[in-house]
């Protein structure tokens, strides 16, 4: 049977299940009303069978809907993306087998939970539109959209963290110590911690940690990590155990995360760990004080990072998680860039866009990101300053008031750059850019500080037509190619 016919079966089953749940009927109750067996109904809902006309009539009568409505491929707003997906034939393009996804289970999964439906379907459409479709990027893009759909805030994880602190009677002022978390891992979850074995394997020097599961799990930690990084890993291990997450990677490295499940569970554990180390109430008070300042002082951000003994990424991630919920700053982007001393390339390795149309990031790693962004500028400055010299954790902070070329939308962006502790040739910057609107102006008092630099920015050099740009490192080849196509189409119309 062709794919189109198979998709129709899936859609019918999905719609039947949705209508049954709306009527608050169990499979057994629908079976009694329609005189169709439970097993047969189950096969229909899973998209494995498509009933004949008389049986569809029986189902329509049992559900109290008309026949045409039941067989129509028109879905509710919540499930409409599935129909769009089928019509576009995008599913045929996706390497679903690579991700161990069975098409029937795929559709069933989307019907069971709204966030999974939105994340996965929107991911597919987003990938197709932005040419991000590849096995390397698919899972990461799925996670990005999952976070965006949930406003990057998860009340259930916040509550779980509060419950954990209460259960173990933890002192969270000013931050939780390494010994406190390690004692819980050892006493409550029978862990053994090893910070020596990593030195025996030069190949593992860029990894942060490895877990050997078993009756007594052994957590091997890279001894070169900072205290903040070790604290973060211990918090993640506590999250995996406390939240009973078993489908996880045992390697603490973003380089070893490929599947959506591993990425999602890694994110949940990271969220828990960050919320555990950076207490919500204390953090809100500190950020309120920071936002109330009349002028911007970059040292204030660095001082807060040191106060909580966290990494810049943990600090900015906590700010991103709470910004919409607490301060009403619901339009922002969160970016992480990496670069090395030997290359004039800036790789985007993490991205969240919330309620904005601009794409200051995007996994366009073959193009050159706009050098006017503060995140890229800081990276350039710190790597030129250090040139491979060990900085001992030195951080550089910055801010920029930017206007996006052509759209006129403006942002206030904070960023911190730092040398990689495990590799002095690598540097990382974390930035968060808030959309400049009336809400921001009421919350961030220093937004109009005249000392904040102002710049016109764009996505990449290849897509930018800004004239006389001193920071440009590549010609606008992509833009010219697009314009050439437009010119050809216009000429054909005239012809």
Residues 159 and 269 in one domain: yes
pLDDT at 288 (0 to 100)? 97
pLDDT at 55 over 60: yes
| Domains contained in the chain, number | 3
Residue 218 lies in a domain: yes
pLDDT at 236 over 70: yes
Residues 17 and 97 in one domain: yes
Residues 75 and 181 in one domain: no
Q: Which CATH number does the domain housing residue 191 bear?
A: 1.10.10
pLDDT at 135 (0 to 100)? 45
Residues 254 and 317 in one domain: no
* pTM across the whole model: 0.73
Residue 462 lies in a domain: yes
pLDDT at 323 (0 to 100)? 95
Residues 50 and 170 in one domain: no
Residues 108 and 244 in one domain: no
Residues 203 and 59 in one domain: no
pLDDT at 421 over 80: yes
Residues 212 and 162 in one domain: yes
User: Taking residues 181-209, what's their average pLDDT?
Assistant: 93
Give the alpha-carbon dihedral of 447, 146, 88, 480, to 10 degrees: 30
pLDDT at 259 (0 to 100)? 65
Domain containing 72 equals: 3-128
What whole-number distance in Å separates Cα of residue 164 and Cα of residue 226? Answer: 24
Q: Which CATH number does the domain housing residue 9 bear?
A: 1.10.260.40
Q: Which of 51-60, 263-272, 335-344, 439-448 is the most confident on average? A: 439-448
Q: Which residue has the higher pLDDT, 1 or 167?
A: 167
What whole-number distance in Å separates Cα of residue 334 and Cα of residue 337? Answer: 10
User: Taking residues 285-301, what's their average pLDDT?
Assistant: 95
pLDDT at 165 over 90: yes
What whole-number distance in Å separates Cα of residue 329 and Cα of residue 315? Answer: 16
| Minimum mean pLDDT range among 118-127, 228-237, 450-459, 477-486 | 118-127
Q: Which of 101-110, 111-120, 436-445 is the most confident on average? A: 436-445
Residues 203 and 96 in one domain: no
pLDDT at 48 (0 to 100)? 83
pLDDT at 98 (0 to 100)? 44
Residue 295 lies in a domain: no
pLDDT at 211 (0 to 100)? 95
Q: Which residue has the higher pLDDT, 153 or 366?
A: 153
Residues 460 and 321 in one domain: yes
pLDDT at 92 (0 to 100)? 54
Residues 165 and 51 in one domain: no
pLDDT at 201 over 70: yes
Residue 111 lies in a domain: yes
Residues 98 and 187 in one domain: no
Residue 406 lies in a domain: yes
Q: What is the pLDDT of residues 390-411, one digit of tens each?
A: 777 889 999 999 998 878 789 9
Listed residues 257, 277, 297: the one ending a domain = 277
Residue 490 lies in a domain: no
Listed residues 260, 277, 294: the one ending a domain = 277
Residue 491 lies in a domain: no
Residue 304 lies in a domain: no
pLDDT at 183 (0 to 100)? 96
Which pLDDT band holds residue 280 (cuts at 50, 70, 90)?
very high
pLDDT at 466 (0 to 100)? 86
Listed residues 111, 128, 145: the one ending a domain = 128
pLDDT at 1 (0 to 100)? 42
Residue 18 Ramachandran class (φ > 0 left, ψ -120 to 50 alpha, else beta): alpha
How many Cβ atoms sit within 10 Å of the Cβ of residue 361?
24
What whole-number distance in Å separates Cα of residue 114 and Cα of residue 252? Answer: 29
């Amino acid at each position: 049977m062709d794919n189109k016919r198979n998709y129709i079966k899936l859609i019918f089953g999905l719609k039947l299940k949705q209508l049954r749940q709306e009527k608050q009927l169990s499979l057994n109750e629908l079976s009694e009303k329609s005189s169709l067996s439970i097993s047969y109904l189950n096969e229909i809902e899973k998209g494995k069978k498509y009933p004949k006309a008389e049986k569809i009539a029986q189902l329509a009568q049992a559900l109290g809907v008309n026949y045409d409505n039941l067989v129509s491929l028109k879905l509710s707003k919540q499930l409409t993306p599935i129909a769009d997906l089928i019509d576009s034939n995008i599913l045929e393009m996706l390497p679903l087998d690579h991700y161990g996804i069975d098409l029937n289970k795929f559709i069933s999964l989307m019907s069971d939970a709204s966030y999974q439906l939105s994340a996965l379907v929107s991911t597919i459409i987003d990938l197709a539109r932005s040419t991000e479709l590849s096995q390397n990027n698919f899972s990461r893009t799925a996670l990005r959209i999952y976070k965006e759909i949930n406003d990057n805030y998860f009340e259930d994880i916040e509550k779980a963290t509060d419950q954990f602190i209460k259960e173990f009677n933890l002192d969270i002022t000013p931050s939780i110590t390494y010994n406190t978390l390690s004692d819980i891992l050892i006493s409550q979850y029978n862990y053994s911690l090893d910070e020596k074995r990593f030195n025996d394997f030069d190949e593992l020097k860029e990894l942060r940690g490895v877990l050997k599961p078993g009756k007594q799990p052994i957590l091997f930690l890279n001894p070169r990590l900072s205290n903040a990084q070790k604290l973060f890993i211990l918090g993640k291990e506590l999250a995996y155990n406390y939240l009973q997450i078993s489908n996880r990677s045992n390697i603490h490295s973003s380089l070893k995360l490929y599947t959506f499940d591993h990425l999602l569970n890694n994110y949940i554990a990271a969220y828990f760990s960050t919320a555990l180390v950076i207490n919500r109430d204390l953090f809100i008070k500190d950020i309120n004080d920071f936002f109330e300042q009349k002028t911007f002082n970059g040292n204030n951000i660095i001082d807060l990072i040191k106060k909580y003994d966290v990494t810049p990424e943990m600090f900015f991630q906590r700010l991103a998680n709470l910004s919409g919920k607490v301060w009403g700053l619901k339009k922002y982007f969160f970016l992480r860039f990496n670069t090395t001393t030997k290359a004039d390339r800036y790789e985007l390795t993490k991205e969240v866009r919330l309620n904005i149309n601009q794409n200051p990031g995007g996994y366009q790693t073959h193009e050159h990101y706009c050098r006017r962004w503060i995140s890229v500028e800081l990276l350039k400055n710190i790597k030129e300053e250090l040139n491979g010299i060990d900085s001992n954790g030195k951080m550089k902070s910055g801010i920029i008031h930017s206007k996006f070329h052509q759209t006129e939308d403006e942002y206030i962006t904070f960023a911190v750059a730092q040398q990689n502790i495990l590799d002095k040739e690598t540097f990382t910057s974390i930035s968060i850019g808030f959309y400049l609107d009336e809400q921001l102006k009421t919350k961030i008092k220093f937004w109009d500080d005249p000392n904040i630099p102002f710049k016109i920015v764009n996505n990449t050099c290849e897509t930018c037509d800004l004239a006389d740009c001193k920071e440009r490192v590549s010609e606008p080849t992509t833009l010219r190619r697009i314009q050439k196509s437009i010119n050809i189409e216009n000429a054909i119309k005239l012809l």
